[in-house]
Amino acid sequence: MLELLQRCHGNYLLCEDKLEIPLQDFADCRHKYSGSVFLLASGPSAGAFPVSCYANYPFIAMNGSIARFVDEKIKPLFYICSDPSFPAARPDLAIMGCEHASHIAMALECFEEIYSHDKSVLMGKSLYLLERVNRYYNKQSVSDRRFAWSIRNNAELISNFSLLRKRPNRIGFSKNMHHGYFCARTIVYIALQLVYTLGFRKVFITGMDLSGNIGRFYEDKGKGLPTSLDDEFDKIICPSFQLVAKKIICDDFSVFNLSASSRLPDSMIPKITLKQLDCLLAQK
């Protein structure tokens, strides 16, 4: 069993034998990096992406996409996991992510699930705690509407606000993960907020197919984990990326989709080919 231990000089994961595992703070790595970065999601298109051709660039792995990096003998910069149902169902892949990535960012419940399967894999690792905005482990949350109103002038937490409808108040983007992340029901959206925080300004996403009925590249046909992508696409996924297109993407921050079959409209996140990718990477 793991618990979150909070002190004035930092947070720790407290093990059942009273051993303390220190947690890093996103504030300490903010703007530490620059240039281009790849986000590898788990859609079928990620299985065909030539990861080894771009091994000199930093990658963010998430959930089962870590399998590609292990196969290619590439060390991702971060491995992230926010849903404890994934390590519960696929502890082999979650543990693999902790073993192979330089840094690990997870929800507390994910750390707990992994610890229940392997009590040593988190030791000595660079660990970051994923917390949703307005859902912090040590603070009282308020209504989504009240929270959206409270951050209306916050340059680091960008959000929609509505007095008439509840759902728009749940949609936003965090430019500083020290303050938490906005959940858009797809982990690639968390990864996008992470790389913005880290300082990357040209982002290439592969495997972001966003179709629940086609499975994931690492799963056997007919044996995939349940997904809510189809239910959530119109409600929150698409509106969240719409906010990114309108309020986040600019001359200083660009995002490109390498999945030609992605459900996300090209008008939100432009789809590019590998040839176009190489041209963009060649630009200074």
* Stated pTM of the model: 0.94
What is the C-alpha separation between 244 and 186, in angstroms, rounded?
14
Q: Give the model's pLDDT for residue 79.
A: 98
pLDDT digits (tens, 9 = 90+) for 45-68: 888 999 999 999 999 999 999 999
Q: Give the model's pLDDT for residue 253.
A: 97
Q: Give the model's pLDDT for residue 220.
A: 54
Q: Give the model's pLDDT for residue 9.
A: 81
Q: Give the model's pLDDT for residue 97.
A: 97
Q: Give the model's pLDDT for residue 279.
A: 97
Residues 6+ apart with CB under 8 A from 173: 157, 158, 159, 182, 192, 193, 196, 240, 243, 244, 247, 248
Q: Give the model's pLDDT for residue 150.
A: 94
Check: CB of residue 260 under 8 Å from CB of residue 230: no
Q: Give the model's pLDDT for residue 228.
A: 58
Compute mean pLDDT per 10 residues along the chain, 284 residues long, and list them.
88 93 96 98 90 97 95 96 95 97 97 96 97 91 93 94 84 97 94 98 93 55 57 87 96 96 93 97 87
Q: Give the model's pLDDT for residue 109.
A: 96
The secondary structure of the chain, three-state, reads: CEEEEEECCEEEEEECCCCEEECECHHHHCCCCCCEEEEECCCHHHHCCCHHHHCCCCEEEEHHHHHHHHHHCCCCCEEEECCCHHHHHCHHHHHHHHHHCCEEEECHHHHHHHHHHCCCCCCCCCEEECCECCCCCCCCCCCHHHHHHHCCCCCCEEECCCCCCCHHHHCEEECCHHHCECCCCCHHHHHHHHHHHHCCCEEEEECCCCCHHHCCCCCCCCCCCCCCHHHHHHHHHHHHHHHHHHHHCECCEEEEECCCCCCCCCCCCCECCHHHHHHHHHCC
